[in-house]
Amino acid sequence: MADSSFSFNTMIHMITIKLSSTNYLLWRNQLLPLLQCQNLLSHVDGSVAPPPITIAVDSSSSQPNPQYVAWQLQDQRLLSLLFSSLTEEAMVEVLGLTTARDVWLALENSFSHISKTRELRIKDDLQLIKRGTRSVTEYSRSFKALCDQLTAMGRSVDDTDKVHWYLRGLGANFANFSTAQMSLTPLPVFKDLVPKVESFEIFQKSLGSSFPVSSAAFTATNGSFPSSRGGSSSKSRRSRGGYHGGHGHGRGKRGSYIPRCQICKTEGHTANQCRSHYDRVEPTAQLAEAFTTACSLSNGSESDWFTDTGASAHMTPDPSQLDKVEPYHGKDCVIVGNGASLPITHTGMLSSSSNFQLLNVLVVPRLTKNLLSISKLTSDFPLSVTFSHDNFVVQNRITGMAVAKGKRAGGLYVLERGHSAFASVLRNKNLHASFELWHARLGHVNHSILSLLNKK
């Protein structure tokens, strides 16, 4: 040993972390530099074999090997050092072992896989952490603590991932700020980003309230109507002149007819005269909505299903909602928007009634919401889905009968009560189309004609 050698008591006090089932990587990283500088690493990694126990004096006799005696003395001192760094939980794993290498290998076999599981759990927590009602300072402290744990394990997080996950966890109140930061090239460094967020929070508080977040639905940026995906916009396009045509077929009742607008639902004017005809969705509202949806889906019941036009399969995090659940042993996984892959644990079928089923539903535990794939739904059954500005309707393409109806909430189209919404509609044998729907189907005929047909 050279001048860098420490006494046994000094080394004991240098080991501050006691090994348990949750901190193997931290404990190991603490010991390795100490063993290296004391020339003791070969005792635990097996890089140097121990000297023979005895040496031959002549052809008929032998004596103890002084080198082995010195090696054994050093090994037993190291063994005592390892024992002093263990909790009772870890000590149970090494009872009866007499060399430092045997103890080292036993601890590695017992605790290394547990630490790998903990590493993955911390990474999951880091991606899913939300600010909630905490201040930015408290949220930043919690986020950084998780990053520090991974760094201590030798698994440092890439700075780009830090920035992305941190901004996503800030929530809807910081949607505009987060979107602006993510659009910068290059992305800001994490250590510089935190002070910016804290300053932005102070600025929000100085205004008296947080910035409002738009709840407008996703729309194209070319200025289409907010309801361009659904039936109400098509009604407004067909209504131009439709009521005037009704006058010509009204059998002399031209003077008593009062038009009703199909956009604002008020009487006294037609759709082409409505002041709401050319309303547009503000681009800033669209930008905020896009990041808001990615930041948080906190509203809604666990049984609600969120429609997804980008998903190729129905998905749920809860296998208890499915029928005939089977374990999945394939290699496929779900790829989400940020590039992360989520494992599939089970597959199943969801039967709401004898007339309707969701086939091949994937169980993805790391999801937070149930996803209803529009492409899968319309491929498995003769169904069509019509979206409007505040709701959506699922209809049978052959009969035109409504199978389910959902609403738009927080910029998302939600099927409330999950698959039970389908069952409740299917059990209703007296479904009738609305007066307005037949008015549109028949080319916007006069309301008096519809009333006459309804009586028959």
CATH number, domain containing residue 319: 2.40.70
How many domains are contained in the chain?
A: 4
Residue 193 lies in a domain: yes
* Distance (Å) of CA 413 to CA 262, 293, 385, 403, 410: 22, 12, 11, 16, 8
pLDDT of residue 241: 41
Given a cut of 80, whether residue 376 has pLDDT beyond it is yes
DSSP string computed for 401-445: -EEEEEEEETTEEEETTTTHHHHHHHT-S-----HHHHHHHTTS-
Check whether residue 20 and residue 80 sit in a common domain: yes
Terminal CA-CA length for the chain: 108
Q: What is the pTM of this model?
A: 0.34
pLDDT of residue 231: 42
Task: Give the rounded percent of residues in the chain with a pLDDT score beyond 70.
Answer: 71
Given a cut of 50, whether residue 315 has pLDDT beyond it is yes
Task: Report how far Cα 269 is from the mean position of its chain's Cα atoms.
Answer: 47
Residue 286 lies in a domain: no
Is there a contact between 82 and 104 (Cβ–Cβ < 8 Å)?
yes
- Two tokens, residue 118: 């903990």
Check whether residue 312 and residue 357 sit in a common domain: yes
Residue 217 lies in a domain: no
Q: Determine the Cα–Cα distance for residues 238 and 271; give it in Å rounded to an integer.
A: 9
What range defines the domain where residue 180 resides?
A: 129-206
pLDDT band at 167 (very low <50, low <70, confident <90, very high): very high
For residue range 98-126, list pLDDT tens digits in order.
999 999 999 988 877 666 777 888 888 98
Residue 291 lies in a domain: no
- Two tokens, residue 381: 């059954």
Residue 290 lies in a domain: no
pLDDT of residue 279: 56
Average pLDDT for the chain:
75
Check whether residue 48 and residue 142 sit in a common domain: no
Residue 310 lies in a domain: yes
Check whether residue 40 and residue 88 sit in a common domain: yes
Check whether residue 164 and residue 106 sit in a common domain: no
Helix residue ranges, H only, 129-230: 136-152, 159-169, 175-182, 190-206
pLDDT band at 426 (very low <50, low <70, confident <90, very high): very low
Check whether residue 326 and residue 406 sit in a common domain: yes
Check whether residue 275 and residue 352 sit in a common domain: no
* Of 138, 284, 143, residue with least CA distance to 211: 284
For residue range 42-100, list pLDDT tens digits in order.
899 888 888 998 888 887 888 888 999 999 999 999 999 999 999 998 899 899 999 99
Residue 120 lies in a domain: no
Collapsing DSSP to helix, strand or coil, 424 comes out as: helix
The torsion angles phi and psi of 364, rounded to 5 degrees, stand at -125, 95
pLDDT band at 228 (very low <50, low <70, confident <90, very high): very low
Amino acid letter, 44: V
pLDDT of residue 170: 92
Check whether residue 304 and residue 253 sit in a common domain: no
* Residue 289: Cβ-neighbour burial (10 angstroms; 0-12, 13-18, 19+): buried
- Report which secondary-structure segment, H or E, holds 121: helix 100-128
Instruction: Specify the residue for token string 């950084």.
Output: 144
* Distance (Å) of CA 318 to CA 196, 234, 368, 370, 423: 38, 38, 9, 8, 20
- Two tokens, residue 149: 């744990």
Check whether residue 73 and residue 153 sit in a common domain: no
pLDDT of residue 301: 56
**Would you report the helix, strand and coil content of the chain in percent, each value rounded to 5?**
45, 15, 40
Q: Determine the Cα–Cα distance for residues 228 and 222; give it in Å rounded to an integer.
A: 11
